[in-house]
Structure 1
Amino acid sequence: MSLLDDIIDAHGGFARRNAFERVEAAAVTTGGLFPLKGLPTDTTRRHMRVWLHEVRASVSPFGAADQQTAFTPDRVAVEKTNSTLVAESRDLPPLFAGHGLNTPWGPLHRAYFNGYAMWLYLNSPFLLAADGVEVREIGRWAERGEDWRVLRVYFPGSMVTHSRQQDFYFDRALDLRRHDYRADIAGSFPAAQLIGYYVEVQGMRVPTRRRAYVRGPDNRPVEDLLMVSIDLDEVRFL
């Protein structure tokens, strides 16, 4: 078996995961990226839904108590909970054309970012075995007094994600501890996301804490520059 096979088994395995349609959780998301984008940030607990066998995600409430998002690779929308449309875009690449780190975002920009990012996070590491995804081990990395193995992943151009190349770091227990990428829709700033606080839910293992920092020239997180903070609880599979 490959390292990726072992990692997937350690997170619950495909057989168990395939019994479910989606994963849901309460999520609190804050961090310095959102004020840079002119967006409010708060500690409201929101309901996150991510589908496991299709690229689809939703979060509520969003912008108002009776609103939610709807994300798929070819559409992002804000809707009322009764499905009445509030805002929508099907022309997604131009939505971020020319954007830098300080380019302001509107509700659809944040809905798109939240949708694809949470879909990636809650489908990892299983997503690394998807068709068209290339994975190779690039060596070991010493951090926090530990020795981590690193998988370099190349995502196909058809997949909506942070960047084509991303690195995933796993500890001796095969837990995901760090995730590196460039946030292409936000000026391609380099990020190092530290990950932990695993829970076991219905036989699946899920990390519930993520902290994405700017990644410095030494390839280490600059912990004074916290860009996105994500805390999950009430995780369940359906």
Structure 2
Amino acid sequence: MIEYQRKNHYDADDLVEIIKILRNPESGCPWDRVQTHTSIRMNFLEEAYEAVDALDCDDPVLMCEELGDVLMQVVFHTCIETERDRFEWQDVCDGVCRKLIFRHPNIFGSQPETEGINDWDALKNKEKGRTTLAQDLDSVPKAMPALMRAAKLQKRAQRRLGESPADGQAVQQAAQAAAQATPELAEQAIGRLLFETVRLARAAGIDPEQALEKQNALFAAEAKQMPQPE
């Protein structure tokens, strides 16, 4: 049993120390000390989604709790890397502070390498050393929800190639092809339909992920009101 100092208020440094205690290979928690990046990968995503739900509910108590859970995930993964002598909590904080300063020359002043660049995406590419479309597309996280990732890929391609035309007819043609597709080609056809629908949404200035989220909520609300079979 470890006697950790009781305080009226804990801070980020306390959180780091508590996770280190839980990760101690000899005296730590049996569950925490055996976790890896891979084993708790989905936990990170779940906590992020729960935090977004709290934001959507505009519930300050729930927001505080869920944002704390997300922060705990950040610290947990950082502690795993500290154990491997690759980086520490201070490096994470230092890195994000430097990034914010670099990407806001209009606030913190231009640096030689950002002189004349005010676009966020251009600054990001400059910082990351991305100079080609392939590098830009490869940097879009594969773990993103598919609709969100499609929109991001299209946006990045647009910056370098120009916008591809989007209209209802393209979606209609994709829908017809999906309806007539053989079982072997059905998945590809449905994927094309969804991709073209994302393009149409972007052309209308609509976030496709949020649009589908709202439709999901509407469907659920309507379904709950429908009479259920005995």
**Where on the TM-score scale, by shorter chain, does this alignment land: which range?**
under 0.3
Identify, as 1 or 2, the structure richer in strand: 1
Structure whose CA Rg is larger: 2
Structure with the bigger RCO (C-alpha within 8 Å, sep 6+) is 1
Higher helix residue share: 2
Task: Output the TM-score relative to the length of structure 2.
Answer: 0.22
